Structure 1
Amino acid sequence: MTTIIDKLRLDGKKIYITGGAQGLGKSMAQALAEAGADVAIVDIQLEKAQATAAEIAAATGQKVIAVKADVTNPEDVQKMITTVVDKLGGLDVAFNNAGMVINTPAEETTFDQWTKVINLNLNGVFLTSQAAGKYMIEHGGGAIINTASMSAHIVNRPQPQASYNASKAGVIQLSKSLAIEWAKKGVRVNTLSPGYMATDLTQNSEELKPLIDIWNDWAPLGRMGKPEELQGIAVYLASDTSSFATGADFAIDGAFTAW
């Protein structure tokens, strides 16, 4: 008998995850490999990606490779897809996770700052989704997971981050649009919207330390999430168990957006 645990296995699946060298991307990449997938750690920081790939490969026994790519560059993105397919033997799941935030008051935000955030968070997700989707349409289908944020649903406080919020709202609407366009072409597209997460970066940032108490005070659970608390949803969305899930946003935020 095939159990639900069996169905959540990712044996034989080939997956890439952008921004996978550290933080949430690394944690989710670890889970995908633990579930049986071969994984490409895609990051603009190649040395970090190589270290992460080696660490996950040693821990899981799966094939884990590192690929350098600038996801805001169309040529780089296409080269990344080609490399992943060549080295892993295909592409079943695309996890577009790379992103950034710049906290500046809207009236003081420079056009360069605005463009950097929109270019990585939204344009980068479009380029990687487009390239992965085209491959999947031509090769029998697949699943795309795009990292959005609870900031697509709320206005964070006290930090000002209009560019980030707008970019992540765009990721959700883009993903819904792609889900509709590709529904009958075998490609599912969903978004994952984390809340405040206690990564090494957030925990060790002097700039963010004054904000963490404020965030925790507002959080219904009274704390930030742990990176490993996103691992289950990542595996679910990558697995065939989620075959009826497309065009959906999964907010894993400790009820922060339920206020």
Structure 2
Amino acid sequence: MDMFRLDGQTALVTGAGSGIGQAIAIGLAEAGADVGCFSRATSAGLAETIERIEALGRRAIRLTGSVTDEQDLTAAVETLEAEAGPLTVAVNSAGIASAYPAEDMPIEAWQQVVDTNYTGLFKSCRVEARAMFGNGGGSIVNISSMSGWIANRGLTQAHYNSSKAAVSHLTRSLATEWCDRGVRVNAISPGYTLSPMNKRPEVATQRQQFADETPMQRLAEVEEMIGPAVFFASRASSFCTGSDLVVDGGFVCW
């Protein structure tokens, strides 16, 4: 269906070097977009992302930096637009996680998660929006988490949970501010997903617990976030802004 196509669009994906961000970057290219792939310079998977996009016949632009640095983000958008055309789609997937009991959590650990997941995403959104305002509009998709809706049983991650709750509400706030300038802002809240973090052998027991507690009795594959991202990026969601789509196999229903 043509309304889901992204032909002629230029997209930016943060966190494109691994996991959900990598899958979505490739998925946007499958839908027809040229993609700027933004990640830290040390990301081992960024080259693979670019190689897989180029194998689809789409342009992939390597962009490196930190979402905590607005200058890095601004330079990335400028480079992307110079090489691939006006920015019209952005997916903000960069994020980190750690676990500490709240009473023992080093404030540095709290700050690092909040700076990356929340403040870094805010910086990403506004750099992207500033470009889109001059390009006739666009679509921004933020990767939040079901952990912004619930407190995960058995996980000590108050900083992560609250950062993702902030992302979801920031999405609604920005959507209302920017809709009159043609920029839609939506979020996807994945449940437990087979990202590299959850594929580590040392979390095999916990991974099975996550599956057991999910109504669909499994974790998501990273590729299962492509469809929601393409939907929000495309004309198929033209009347959606401020939405937060939970993609969790039914986890929050229990």
Q: Output the TM-score relative to the length of structure 2.
A: 0.96
| Partner AA of 2:106 in structure 1 | T
The equivalent position to 1:56 in structure 2, one of 53, 75, 87, is 53
Q: Given the alignment of the two structures, is residue 193 of structure 1 paired with residue 189 of structure 2, yes or no?
A: yes
Q: Given the alignment of the two structures, is residue 89 of structure 1 paired with residue 70 of structure 2, yes or no?
A: no
**Matches of 2:67 and 2:160 in 1, distance apart?**
17
- Specify the SS of the correspondent of 1:94: strand
Judge conservation of contact 2:11–2:87 (CA < 8 Å) in 1: yes
Cα distance, 1:54 vs. partner?
1.7
- Specify the SS of the correspondent of 1:215: helix
The equivalent position to 1:244 in structure 2, one of 235, 239, 243, is 239
* Map of 2:250 onto structure 1: 255
Cα distance, 1:224 vs. partner?
0.6
Q: Given the alignment of the two structures, is residue 173 of structure 1 paired with residue 169 of structure 2, yes or no?
A: yes
Greater mean alpha carbon deviation, residues 29-38 or residues 209-218: 209-218
Judge conservation of contact 2:23–2:226 (CA < 8 Å) in 1: yes
* Map of 1:234 onto structure 2: 229
| Partner AA of 1:232 in structure 2 | G
* Map of 1:118 onto structure 2: 114
Cα distance, 1:199 vs. partner?
2.3
| Partner AA of 1:50 in structure 2 | A
**Matches of 1:169 and 1:15 in 2, distance apart?**
25
**Matches of 1:47 and 1:13 in 2, distance apart?**
27
**Matches of 1:66 and 1:123 in 2, distance apart?**
23
Judge conservation of contact 2:88–2:135 (CA < 8 Å) in 1: no
Q: Per the alignment, do residues 205 and 73 of structure 1 end up closer, same or farther by CA in structure 2, a change over 3 Å counting?
A: farther
Structure-to-structure mapping, 1:1-259, within 5 angstroms: 5-44=1-40, 45=42, 48-58=45-55, 60-206=56-202, 208-259=203-254
Greater mean alpha carbon deviation, residues 40-49 or residues 78-87: 40-49
Cα distance, 1:205 vs. partner?
4.3
**Matches of 2:207 and 2:58 in 1, distance apart?**
36
Cα distance, 1:145 vs. partner?
0.4
**Matches of 1:230 and 1:210 in 2, distance apart?**
24
| Partner AA of 1:76 in structure 2 | D
**Matches of 1:237 and 1:147 in 2, distance apart?**
12
Greater mean alpha carbon deviation, residues 9-18 or residues 49-58: 49-58
- Specify the SS of the correspondent of 1:65: strand
Residues 72-112 of structure 1: CA distance to partner in whole angstroms, max 9, x if unpaired? 01111111111111121110011111001111110111011
Judge conservation of contact 2:89–2:233 (CA < 8 Å) in 1: yes
Ranges in structure 2 where 5+ consecutive residues have no aligned partner: none
**Matches of 1:247 and 1:164 in 2, distance apart?**
21
What do you get for the CA RMSD once the two structures are aligned? 1.1
Cα distance, 1:46 vs. partner?
5.2
Q: Output the TM-score relative to the length of structure 1.
A: 0.95
Ranges in structure 1 where 5+ consecutive residues have no aligned partner: none
**Matches of 1:213 and 1:48 in 2, distance apart?**
26
| Residue identity (%) | 39
Residues 8-54 of structure 1: CA distance to partner in whole angstroms, max 9, x if unpaired? 11100000100011111111111110110000111003553233202
| Partner AA of 1:211 in structure 2 | Q
Judge conservation of contact 1:19–1:43 (CA < 8 Å) in 2: yes
| Partner AA of 1:229 in structure 2 | E
Judge conservation of contact 1:56–1:64 (CA < 8 Å) in 2: yes
